[in-house]
A and B are shown apart, each in its own frame.
Chain A
Amino acid sequence: MSLTKLIPSPTQRLSERSTPAAANAASAADKPLVAVQSAAPPYGHRRGWTPRRQEDFGDGGAFPEIHSRQYPLGMGQPQSASSGPTLPMTLGADGRVNFDAVVRQGQRADKVVHSKFSDLLPKPIDEDDPSFQRPDEESIKDLTEKTRDALQRLVESKAAASNPVRSAERTGPAQFIRYTPSQQGAGYNSGSAQRIVRMVEAQKDPMEPPRFRISKKVPRGPPSPPATVMHSPPRKVTSKEQADWKIPPCVSNWKNPKGYTIPLDKRVAADGRGLQGVHVNEKFVMLAEALHTAEVKSREAVSMRAKVASRMQQAQREKHEETLQQIASRARGERAGLAPAAEAAEAAAEARERDAIRRERAEQRAHERNRKGGGGANDRDRDISEQIALGRPALQRNQQDPEAAFDSRLFNQDAGLASGFHAGEDEIYNVYDQPWRANASSAGHLYRPTKGLEEGASADEELGRLASGTGRFVPDRRFEGTGGGAGGSRRDGPVQFEKQVEEDPFGLDDLFDKVKRSETVGTGSKRPASGHRDEGGSGRKRDRRD
């Protein structure tokens, strides 16, 4: 609805030329200030003039006296295929601006590019619409044929490369072309307006190898322009979803290919120890219990049997003894008249009791002695680890004199530099200045009890005999000069070896000495020393080789 059509048109036009002054100005404005020249100025008068439009060139070409870029007929003008970053705005058939010109820039005009919002909207399927129906048989057949031909050509060209050489291919028949050149005149083409050209296919030599090297690799051209993205950008990931997809780093018990240093708590955490439930079968426990009970029972049975057997044996022995005693008493009685047999039996029983008591007491005494620890005879013969285990004081353990029990360096520590500094000597090595066990004899430590124990001798006696010295563990002969303390003399310095005089059976040394002495005497006179030197050298050499 336009109101301008409704209202009447204005009857009086208000123009700029109403006032005379304005009219003059308008008339003046109407006249152009500069006369527009239609053609170029003539030769000689062109100074300061430049051709601006195609019409300025007229019929001819560029003006050499005008020093500016000129493109008559547009020739030589750089083709701005990409005229900067701007595209001309065009309108489509429906009258709307083609906004997808940007997207369709480098492509053919008929290429299918989806760029509108309407391409995203759903459309219904209209079964009656012919565009929803498949094309008819004929068009499909045509398409099939075309495709087949195209592909066949490709296949043939590829297969021909591997085919064995056949005879020369027949060239097609010659073609005649009637050609009408654009430049016509009396001078061209000897006056005639048309020409006839005979076109013949050049024959291809079947044995000819390929003419061009196509193995050279050429970089790929630019790809086709990217397709428009017809979906919304991917949704932002929520923190919950991100947390769901978090994968903890792999900490393996077996592999560490990049050699990372992983703290122990992380290693243990990845272990999976707590995750496994160790299920032990109950039958293991049952088996163990059964074994235990079986063992106990068998032990009981064995001990019972042994007890019974020993009791029976004892009873037998007693009976035997009884019978023997009876026999003996009877015999005694027979010898000294009839003595009462009962007394002898009582006496024997008492004697046995007393023996038992004696034995017990001896055992007790020995036990007490053992408990107390003894004077040291025992300790001396024990191994050092046993002594430590029993808790004997160090003094007893080492069996040194009380003065040497403690290191002298521990005392008088307040003396400062005077004690222990040794004037800065680092190499003092006086730890092992004394033998380890000076007093303890090695005999006590290397005792091995022999099988043949004398009957009746107590263990105490045995030990005493051994400790004092069986004479078995004394070295036969000592090294000269060894034996610390009272034994051999203490070494103050390194061992002094005596040079042994070698036996010289042939007396060669005396010979050499004599020769040397005679040489030294005769060096005053001039003698070729080189010869001697040589000799000496050769002699030396010989010596060396020997």
Chain B
Amino acid sequence: IEPVQPHSVHTLVFRSLKRTHDMFLSERDCLPAPDPTADQVRRAVKAKDQFGPVLHMQSSAKTARPAAGKQAAIAAAPAGSDGADSKSALIPASAASAASQAASSADPGSAASSAAAANTASVQVGEERMLVPKRAPLMPKPDWHPPWKLYRVISGHTGWVRCVAVDPLNRYFVTGAADRLIKIWDLASGTLKLSLTGHISTVRGLQVSDRHPFLFSCSEDKTVRCWDLEENKVVRHYHGHLSAVYGLTLHPTLDLLVTCGRDATARLWDMRTKLCIHTLAGHSSTVAAVASQSAEPQLVTGSHDCTVRLWDIAAGKSLVTLTNHKKSVRALAIHPTQFTFATGAPDNIKQWKFPDGQFLQNFSGHNAIVNALALNEDGVLVSGADNGSLHMWDWRTGSCFQRHTSPVQPGSIDSEAGIFALAFDRSGSRLITAEADKTVKIYKEDETATEETHPVNWRPGLLKKARY
């Protein structure tokens, strides 16, 4: 007999708690698996007790309904789908096999059945096979991403740097600042290539076109300008905004330009004829952010009235209004490959699914005014705030793997820390930050970091009943 190891009460209690936790975590909300014999016994006892004298008169037609009906089946299904670990000891083998059958028999078949299979699993309990909704796994483990570090600071602007845009061929990037200049910098070396003057007020939005040699800029002086980069001069003005223009985006496939501003509208411009095709009204306050994509819904806007709207640009009407945010939505980011997007507000950063704007999850923890969001193809979401802090999140799980605040440029006071715009370069390996201390900071992933040196700081926890 092995001698019992003396442990403190605390240790013992904690260990037993942990065992209990591990054992029952996966079946937290599940009822115990149905036991047919127990069920039969129960029924027999009850029948005898209530109808003892007349039992002999039972008719032969007696349908043996499966005991504990659907609930037990529901209980069995997620337990089965949740990773076959040591916890499956409690799950009856039949259910486990049924669950595995269900997993394998997720036959595509028709579209409807595949959709059904996505949310449900076919479970065989007793003699019946039925469709039962699947439960989501709790707290999946986040992926590891290398941490980001600052490697270049570019100063040249004499006012807050408000916006960034990257060349489609990744040769240069463009910044617009409160000193009314648009500066073009070489991406590799960080040297200044060109300064463009013309705006009368702060330049708030920039975008370089994929299919034309054009740079589009919008400013607080109500103008939207199209610069020809071969001649370095303005070739078009888009006139129509009634107030400062805060955001600008180009449609990826159509020759369309969408701008949004303080007059609570987003405007759709035809690039060539400079006409305002649609004035998308619906927001009740400044529209702060706009993003476009080629699939339906083609336009997303976020506003200071705490709503996010998805628009149908052919009709010029909003399709969906998302009111989940409690504070102004200042930042938007669409995932490059997935059909999802994120919105940023001071209360939360929320993840959504297209086309209906279905809420997916919260990225909570960045309790500051989020001015910018940027998404990587590797699944890294970066949020930049008004207090100069950068938070890096894992897209899939929603966990923050890095919090970073860069020191301000020497000569600036600490309160001048703030991030106004973020952009990943076309490769997704460099992050360009437009800041309030008049610098542009470039970050890259730390090559020397590994999973061991920078482990994922994550503990599986119970999902608390979150208040949205």
B458 to chain A, nearest CB (A): 15
**A residues in contact with B268, CB < 8 Å:** 151
Known contacts A112-B357, A114-B357, A134-B339: A122-B362 contact under CB 8 Å: yes
A119 and B295 contact, CB distance less than 8 A: no
Known contacts A120-B359, A124-B137, A129-B118: A147-B254 contact under CB 8 Å: yes
B273 located at the interface, meaning its Cβ lies under 8 Å from any Cβ of chain A in the complex: yes
**8 contacting pairs across A/B (C-beta < 8 A):** A6-B55, A131-B118, A132-B338, A147-B254, A151-B256, A227-B321, A230-B324, A230-B359
**A residues in contact with B47, CB < 8 Å:** 3, 6
In the complex, A112 Cα to B309 Cα: how many Å? Answer: 12
B360 and A155 contact, CB distance less than 8 A: no
A457 located at the interface, meaning its Cβ lies under 8 Å from any Cβ of chain B in the complex: no
A151 and B295 contact, CB distance less than 8 A: no
Interface-facing stretch out of A138-146, A268-276, A443-451, A458-466:
A138-146
In the complex, A123 Cα to B319 Cα: how many Å? Answer: 22
In the complex, A120 Cα to B324 Cα: how many Å? Answer: 8
State which of B65, B254, B322 has its C-beta within 8 Å of the C-beta of A230. B322
B326 and A231 contact, CB distance less than 8 A: yes
In the complex, A120 Cα to B273 Cα: how many Å? Answer: 43
Known: A134-B337, A151-B313, A159-B275. 8 other contacts (CB 8 A): A7-B51, A122-B359, A122-B398, A124-B137, A124-B361, A132-B340, A155-B275, A224-B318
Interface-facing stretch out of B56-64, B83-91, B181-189:
B56-64
In the complex, A132 Cα to B114 Cα: how many Å? Answer: 14
In the complex, A151 Cα to B361 Cα: how many Å? Answer: 35
Sorted nearest first, the 8 A-B pairs with minimum C-beta distance are A227-B321, A8-B57, A150-B314, A122-B361, A230-B324, A112-B320, A120-B468, A112-B356
A230 and B323 contact, CB distance less than 8 A: yes
Per-residue interface assignment for chain B, residues 243 to 268, with 1 indicating a CB less than 8 Å from any chain A CB and 0 otherwise: 00000000001101000000000001
Per-residue interface assignment for chain B, residues 447 to 468, with 1 indicating a CB less than 8 Å from any chain A CB and 0 otherwise: 0000000000000000000111
In the complex, A146 Cα to B320 Cα: how many Å? Answer: 20
Number of interface residues of B (CB under 8 A): 66
In the complex, A24 Cα to B165 Cα: how many Å? Answer: 95
A151 and B253 contact, CB distance less than 8 A: no
B154 located at the interface, meaning its Cβ lies under 8 Å from any Cβ of chain A in the complex: no
In chain B, positions 388-437 with a C-beta closer than 8 Å to chain A are: 395-396, 398
In the complex, A1 Cα to B71 Cα: how many Å? Answer: 14
**B residues in contact with A143, CB < 8 Å:** 294-296, 298
In the complex, A404 Cα to B319 Cα: how many Å? Answer: 107
State which of B55, B298, B353, B468 has its C-beta within 8 Å of the C-beta of A232. B468
Closest B residue by C-beta to A234: B326
B323 and A227 contact, CB distance less than 8 A: yes
Among B62, B65, B295, B351, chain A packs the most CB atoms within 10 A around the CB of B295
A230 and B468 contact, CB distance less than 8 A: yes
B338 and A123 contact, CB distance less than 8 A: no
A121 to chain B, nearest CB (A): 8
In the complex, A123 Cα to B467 Cα: how many Å? Answer: 15
B136 and A123 contact, CB distance less than 8 A: yes
A309 located at the interface, meaning its Cβ lies under 8 Å from any Cβ of chain B in the complex: no
B295 and A134 contact, CB distance less than 8 A: yes
State which of B59, B115, B256, B359 has its C-beta within 8 Å of the C-beta of A119. B359
A151 to chain B, nearest CB (A): 5
In the complex, A300 Cα to B467 Cα: how many Å? Answer: 89
B136 and A140 contact, CB distance less than 8 A: no
Per-residue interface assignment for chain A, residues 1 to 12, with 1 indicating a CB less than 8 Å from any chain B CB and 0 otherwise: 101011111000
**B residues in contact with A151, CB < 8 Å:** 254, 256, 268, 270, 277, 313-314
Chain A: interface secondary structure?
loop
A7 and B277 contact, CB distance less than 8 A: no
**A residues in contact with B325, CB < 8 Å:** 231
State which of A133, A155, A224, A231 has its C-beta within 8 Å of the C-beta of B338. A133
**A residues in contact with B322, CB < 8 Å:** 114, 227, 230
Closest B residue by C-beta to A229: B323
**B residues in contact with A7, CB < 8 Å:** 51, 54, 57-58
In the complex, A124 Cα to B468 Cα: how many Å? Answer: 17
A144 and B62 contact, CB distance less than 8 A: no
Closest B residue by C-beta to A128: B118
Known contacts A229-B323, A231-B325: A3-B50 contact under CB 8 Å: yes
**B residues in contact with A125, CB < 8 Å:** 338, 340, 351, 360, 395-396
A108 to chain B, nearest CB (A): 11
**B residues in contact with A154, CB < 8 Å:** 277-278
A316 located at the interface, meaning its Cβ lies under 8 Å from any Cβ of chain B in the complex: no
State which of B51, B273, B467 has its C-beta within 8 Å of the C-beta of A6. B51
In chain B, positions 86-109 with a C-beta closer than 8 Å to chain A are: none
**A residues in contact with B294, CB < 8 Å:** 140, 143-144
A148 located at the interface, meaning its Cβ lies under 8 Å from any Cβ of chain B in the complex: yes
A228 and B323 contact, CB distance less than 8 A: yes
B65 and A132 contact, CB distance less than 8 A: no
| Chain B interface residues (CB < 8 Å from chain A) | 43, 46-47, 50-51, 54-55, 57-59, 62-63, 65, 67, 114-115, 118, 136-137, 140, 253-254, 256, 268, 270, 273, 275, 277-278, 282, 294-296, 298, 307, 313-315, 318-326, 337-340, 351, 353, 356-362, 395-396, 398, 466-468
Closest B residue by C-beta to A130: B114
In the complex, A126 Cα to B273 Cα: how many Å? Answer: 43
B361 and A123 contact, CB distance less than 8 A: yes
A135 located at the interface, meaning its Cβ lies under 8 Å from any Cβ of chain B in the complex: yes
**A residues in contact with B67, CB < 8 Å:** 1
Known contacts A131-B339, A147-B313, A155-B275: A140-B295 contact under CB 8 Å: yes
B122 to chain A, nearest CB (A): 17
In the complex, A103 Cα to B349 Cα: how many Å? Answer: 26
In the complex, A234 Cα to B468 Cα: how many Å? Answer: 10
A96 located at the interface, meaning its Cβ lies under 8 Å from any Cβ of chain B in the complex: no
**A residues in contact with B140, CB < 8 Å:** 124
In the complex, A111 Cα to B312 Cα: how many Å? Answer: 12
**B residues in contact with A123, CB < 8 Å:** 136, 353, 358-361
A156 to chain B, nearest CB (A): 9
In the complex, A485 Cα to B18 Cα: how many Å? Answer: 126
Closest A residue by C-beta to B379: A125
A166 located at the interface, meaning its Cβ lies under 8 Å from any Cβ of chain B in the complex: no
Per-residue interface assignment for chain A, residues 142 to 179, with 1 indicating a CB less than 8 Å from any chain B CB and 0 otherwise: 01101110110011001100000000000000000000
In the complex, A132 Cα to B360 Cα: how many Å? Answer: 11
In the complex, A135 Cα to B298 Cα: how many Å? Answer: 12
In the complex, A127 Cα to B379 Cα: how many Å? Answer: 12
Closest A residue by C-beta to B296: A143
In the complex, A132 Cα to B351 Cα: how many Å? Answer: 12
**A residues in contact with B278, CB < 8 Å:** 154
A186 to chain B, nearest CB (A): 49
In the complex, A154 Cα to B43 Cα: how many Å? Answer: 72
Closest B residue by C-beta to A120: B468
B99 to chain A, nearest CB (A): 17
Closest B residue by C-beta to A149: B314
A5 and B63 contact, CB distance less than 8 A: yes
A231 and B468 contact, CB distance less than 8 A: yes
B62 and A6 contact, CB distance less than 8 A: yes
State which of A6, A8, A122, A224 has its C-beta within 8 Å of the C-beta of B360. A122
**B residues in contact with A9, CB < 8 Å:** 59
B358 and A227 contact, CB distance less than 8 A: no
In chain A, positions 464-523 with a C-beta closer than 8 Å to chain B are: none
Closest B residue by C-beta to A232: B467
In the complex, A313 Cα to B325 Cα: how many Å? Answer: 104
Known contacts A120-B468, A125-B396, A154-B277: A231-B360 contact under CB 8 Å: no
In the complex, A226 Cα to B351 Cα: how many Å? Answer: 23
Closest B residue by C-beta to A154: B277
**A residues in contact with B273, CB < 8 Å:** 155, 159
State which of A1, A126, A127, A158 has its C-beta within 8 Å of the C-beta of B65. A1
Among B55, B118, B140, chain A packs the most CB atoms within 10 A around the CB of B118
In the complex, A352 Cα to B104 Cα: how many Å? Answer: 146
In chain A, positions 202-258 with a C-beta closer than 8 Å to chain B are: 224, 227-232, 234
In the complex, A232 Cα to B325 Cα: how many Å? Answer: 10
In the complex, A139 Cα to B468 Cα: how many Å? Answer: 35
